[in-house]
Amino acid sequence: MKKFYEGVAVFFLLVAMIAVTGCGGKEQPKANEKQASELTVYTSVYNGMVKEMAQPVVKQQLKDVNVDWRTAGSENVKKKIMSELKEGKSDADVVMISDPSFYLHLKKDGKLLNYKSPQAAELAVTVDADGSFTPIRVSAVVIAVNREKIEDIPKSWKDLLDPKYKGKIAMSNPSVAATALATVMALKDKYGWEYWEKLKENGVLVSSTMEMRDKFSRGEYPITITMEEDVLKQKSALNVPAAIVYPEEGSVLVPGYIAIMKDAKNPEGAKKLVDWWLSEEGQSAMSLGFMHPVKFGINEPVGSRSLFDLQIHSMSVNWNKLMAEENEVKDKFAEIMK
């Protein structure tokens, strides 16, 4: 996987070098200006993608912004921000995770800076009317099947309740993975908690995301409820014999947003970073990282369905409801799975 990201990084470094060719030199900033240029980003975007793709290009193109990238899972980012806010102020200037309900929560509490990027025109995902948060990617939750272990491939979410799949299904823990939480909510709203009770009876295994990926690639977990991007990566980099099932009821789509904290120490630098993620380079980086870009005209991830098709056949998630019921949903799911 590292080699894959390194290869993509070369492409983006070339783009960056071309972009800056011919630019005149600048005076070295003063000490206090260096401090002002610092920008801290809390993000759930994959660490490999940040280090090999985004970081070197941003460094080349936004020379007056020194970005400190801090990567972790969406739920861990949320917990860290909320903990810091309780102490008075978060270290984060910019937040980039896949949990729309959390952005709604931050907006409700007045923690976000409104910014309408000039790059945000004609996006395939709805933009917040006030500019409190802006979409930059979309992840799809699908069913992944190891074809060497499963011959009769399920076609729907309901099919996972069939006894022939008993003990063969795994999923991420929704208390840790925001995309798993969205999936729990979507299927609960469609079929009631009875769906998850029956899936528990059918032996579903709740795992850490990393363990689930590893065991799926080895065939130990033959079926997983996971993100499309993870399966595409495993097929591309590891030649895992995986089939992606886009359930008949629809995949669960989880937009990933970017937002600027209201008390960001460098709001102008933060705005430049928002603009970059919505630029052709930033959106292409998302696609090459197997996530769906939101800007029209950017190629979709290799091997994926189009975002337009996924949106037509998606399961709805009530993000406002999830914001209000998040703890209740997590607790109920944990109670069912214990």
Q: Which residue has the higher pLDDT, 139 or 30?
A: 139
Biggest alpha carbon–alpha carbon distance for the chain:
69
- Tell me the torsion sign for CA atoms 85, 90, 93, 98: negative
Domain residue spans of the chain? 2-16+36-138+255-310, 139-252+314-337
C-alpha 131/C-alpha 118 separation (Å) is 11
- Across the range 22-51, mean pLDDT stands at 64
Task: Give pLDDT tens digits for 264-273.
Answer: 999 999 999 9
CB 183 within 8 A of CB 174: yes
- Across the range 126-153, mean pLDDT stands at 96
Please state, rounded to an integer, the average pLDDT across all residues of the chain: 89
Q: Is the pTM of this model over 0.85?
A: yes
C-alpha 34/C-alpha 265 separation (Å) is 12
Q: Model confidence at 49, in pLDDT bands (50, 70, 90)?
A: confident
Share of the chain above pLDDT 90, in %: 82
Q: Has residue 63 got a pLDDT over 70?
A: yes
Q: Which CATH superfamily is domain 2-16+36-138+255-310 in?
A: Periplasmic binding protein-like II (3.40.190.10)
SS3 (DSSP) at 175? coil
Residue 100's contacts (CB-CB under 8 Å, 6 or more residues apart) are 254, 255, 257, 317, 319
Note the pLDDT of residue 76. 92
Q: Model confidence at 9, in pLDDT bands (50, 70, 90)?
A: very low
Q: Has residue 27 got a pLDDT over 50?
A: no
CATH 3.40.190.10 at 139-252+314-337, yes or no: yes
Task: Give pLDDT tens digits for 64-110.
Answer: 899 999 999 899 999 999 999 999 999 999 999 999 999 999 999 99
